[in-house]
Amino acid sequence: VKKVKTTLLKKKLWELCKQIIRKRHGNVCYTCGAAGLEGSNWHTGHFITKSVCSAELAYALENLRPQCYACNIHRSGNWPAFEAHLIRDKVDTEALKKRNQETKGMLADNFWYVNKIAEYQVLLDIS
């Protein structure tokens, strides 16, 4: 039962991440500049790739941007361009990498997800 609930919380939180990122950054691919993204070509990509992300970074808005399918899937997130553009936009990518290392062993329990969902719901409402 607990496992099912966490899965639902993760889904809900990811949905909020996607909506916030879309609202803030629109439908232009952050890494290649392709415009007019829509439907299944409008992804939300991770700078620090999901497979090596802590839960903290998997849902960190600083680590997420809109991407096209080609950049997110075929170019595995196109991270050289991702990093260059984050730096251009004054995001401290070294701090992100450090934060990922530091939160790797962090336990993201249901409480953590519920809190994050509440926090992002407010962000979405005001953004």
Q: Rule CB under 5 A: which residues touch Zn ion?
A: 29, 32, 34, 68, 71
The nearer residue to Zn ion, 66 or 100, going by C-beta atoms, is 66
- Residue closer to Zn ion by CB (options 19, 27) is 27
Q: What are phi and psi of 66, to 5 degrees?
A: -65, 140
Q: Provide the minimum distance between the beta carbon of 8 and Zn ion in the complex, in angstroms, as a whole number.
A: 30
Nearer to Zn ion, 60 or 71 (CB): 71
Min CB(120)–Zn ion separation in Å: 25
End-to-end CA distance of the chain: 34
| Cβ within 8 Å of residue 17, ≥6 positions away | 44, 59, 61, 64, 120
Amino acid at 18: K
